[in-house]
Homo-oligomer: A and B are copies of this chain.
C-alpha cells in the first residue's frame, strides 16, 4: 500500500516487503501486538530476529511504542504518527484489555481524564491499562468513577 511506503520513508525506514507488511499489520490491528502474535500473522515464515530488529527500529524512529503487558511480554502499539518522531514519543491514550476474549482496545484521549498526581513525581508520559469485560463480552454500559 502506497500510504505505508510513504510513512516508512517519512520516518527514515527502508521499505522492505516485510516492513511494509509489518506496518500494515499495525494499521489493521489498531491496538497492541506481541512479537509472538506478529510471528503468527506471518505464518512463522519470517525469522524472529527480523521481527525483533524491525520492532526496535520502528520504536526508535517513533512509529510504534511499547505497552506494558499483563504477562510481561514485549508488546507494541502504533504511535500517533503526528506527534511521535525519533526525537520524542508522546502518548496520551489508554488501552483496555478484556478478561474474557483477551483483546486489546485503544481508548482515545477523550475517554480518560487524569486530574492530578499529588505525589511529587514529575510525570513525563503516561500509559493506562484498563481491565475488565469488553462491550462484546458483556453488553452493558458502565461509568467508572473512583
Binding site for B on A (CB under 8 A): 66, 68-70, 72-74, 92, 94, 96, 98-99, 105, 107, 109-135, 138, 140-146
Asked if residues B119 and A105 are in contact (CB atoms below 8 Å), the reply is yes
Asked if residues B140 and A116 are in contact (CB atoms below 8 Å), the reply is no
Asked if residues A132 and B142 are in contact (CB atoms below 8 Å), the reply is no
How far, in angstroms, from A128 to B74 measured CA to CA in the complex? 17
Known A-B contacts: A117-B130, A126-B128. Give 6 more (CB < 8 A).
A69-B72, A111-B118, A115-B146, A122-B140, A124-B132, A128-B129
Asked if residues A114 and B116 are in contact (CB atoms below 8 Å), the reply is no
Give the residues in chain B near A144, CB-CB below 8 Å: 114, 116-117, 123, 126
Asked if residues A109 and B72 are in contact (CB atoms below 8 Å), the reply is no
Known: A72-B73, A113-B146, A145-B115. A131 touches B125 (CB 8 A): yes
